[in-house]
Amino acid sequence: MQANRSKSSGSGTALLSLTREQILSFRLKSHNLTGISPSDIPDAFGGWIMQNSPPGAWELSVFSRMPDITLSALDEALTESRTLIQAWSLRGAPCIFPVQDCDVFLTALIPENEPWIYTRGIALVLEHLHMSMEELLPLVKNAALILNENEIVGKPSLDYILAEEAAKSLDSVKRELWYSPSFFSPEQTMGEAAVSFLLRPCSLEKLVVFGKREKNLPTFTSLRSWSPSVFDPDRRVPSPTAVLVKRFLHSYGPASPAMLADTLGCSPAQAKRMWKDAERIYPIIPVRSGNKTAFILEEDLPSFMTPDSSLTDWDMSFAILAPHDPYLDIRDRGLLLPDKQLQKQVWKTVGNPGVILRGGMIAGIWRSARKNGSLSAEFSLWFTPSASHKKIMERWFEGYAKLYDLKQKELKINIM
């Protein structure tokens, strides 16, 4: 396929204009949504990350790429062989990613002369404690060192134990403020609130990661304790910020520094710094996407120029994705779903539905319910499905039930 050349943005050189088909085909391949099952679980991530909020969300994202996967295999990768790890990462959310990528999805997010990310709301705590961020964060980081030798069950217990440890370093005046009631919860002290806000920065410093769940509660430890070989400084990734931007562009290109900031949840200044780090190492070139200038990796250009038309065939290509699937974590949402009213049904503040992809674009949503060992699901489609589409949905429902060892109760297919 030949891409169009658009008018220059002022440099005198015409920019390559990429079509929707080229972009969708590229992203479907990058996110392993071609219908070809990856060789192993880490490969299913495609070099990116999977959100695990609500708990278990990542399991369905892997299932969308590896329909024969089992929960035991996922658990083994996460808690036994530990080829995967869970930590607070992008936008402060619990995320799963290959453990070898800790520098990319943790260390790279540490700000440099920019505000700490994922700590919104801490200003009230700092004001109450009469402390600056520069004073408080080292206190909590030092307290978190106990996780090198301990595993703590439950988030409230984590807040409490680290707050108690940090309190040992406070004078009597500060300690009284530390133990005063929290502004945020009647069951919490201000010290516990301070810890809770700063767990995300501690995560980026590899001081706290998720361990194996116990009695349906998360456990917490440090990366040094959970995966000593990965914590080894000799295994650090060179220029992790540049690698993170490269991974981002390979997953969501064409994109811009502003889209990077939104995706990571960082400040525009931090995103621009990271982007410049990447430009020093990887050739990044401008293109036209719709009516805007955006950027891709030069090494990805051949893939854009040879799209797989079978992936964007409106009648043939069909995929079912979980809520919060990484393919949906884009900033140019109009590419997948032009209708802004329908976008509100897909990307919600809480309770996102799963989606149905047709030709790489969103063509419907689905929700499921589990009760008494049974599974029900309801599809709401914005098109009339063919017999083959219905079979795909039925096979997906069967596989979903099998994954969680549930009985198939009811599958509804509605045409909206």
- β strands within 19-168, DSSP E: 50-51, 84-88, 94-98, 152-153
CA torsion, ordered 395, 400, 406, 410, to nearest 10 deg:
-60
Q: How sure is the predictor about 96, in pLDDT bands with cuts at 50, 70 and 90?
A: very high
Q: pLDDT band for position 121 (50/70/90)?
A: confident
Q: What is the pLDDT of residue 12?
A: 55
Tell me the pLDDT tens digit for each residue of 33-60.
Answer: 999 999 999 999 999 999 999 889 999 9
The DSSP code for 189 is B
Mean pLDDT of 356-362: 96
Q: Order the strands of the 318-321 sheet from edge to edge.
A: 318-321, 354-358, 361-371, 374-381, 407-415
pLDDT digits (tens, 9 = 90+) for 382-416: 999 999 999 999 999 999 999 999 999 999 999 98
pLDDT in tens, 326-349: 999 999 999 999 999 999 999 998
The percentage of residues in the chain with a pLDDT greater than 70, rounded to a whole number, is 96
Mean pLDDT over the full length of the chain: 94
Q: Is the pLDDT of residue 305 over 90?
A: yes
Query: Is the pLDDT score of 361 beyond 60?
Result: yes
| Res 1: pLDDT | 44
Task: Name the least confident of 56-65, 172-181, 226-235, 350-359.
Answer: 226-235
Sign for the CA dihedral angle at 244, 248, 250, 253 comes to negative
Q: What confidence score (pLDDT) does residue 233 get?
A: 64
pLDDT in tens, 183-230: 999 899 999 999 999 999 999 999 999 999 998 899 999 999 999 988
Task: Give the three-class secondary structure for 296.
Answer: strand
Instruction: Please tell me the distance from the alpha carbon of residue 321 to that of residue 33, in angstroms, as a whole number.
Output: 9
Q: Is the pLDDT of residue 2 over 60?
A: no
Closest by CA position to 213, among listed 19, 52, 33: 52
Q: What is the DSSP string of 208-246?
A: -EE---BTTB-EEE-HHHH-HHHH-GGGPPSSHHHHHHH
For 215, phi and psi rounded to 5 degrees?
50, 45
Mean pLDDT score, 281-291: 95
Q: What percentage of residues in the chain have a pLDDT greater than 90? A: 89
Say whether pLDDT at 231 is over 90.
no
Residue 8, amino acid = S
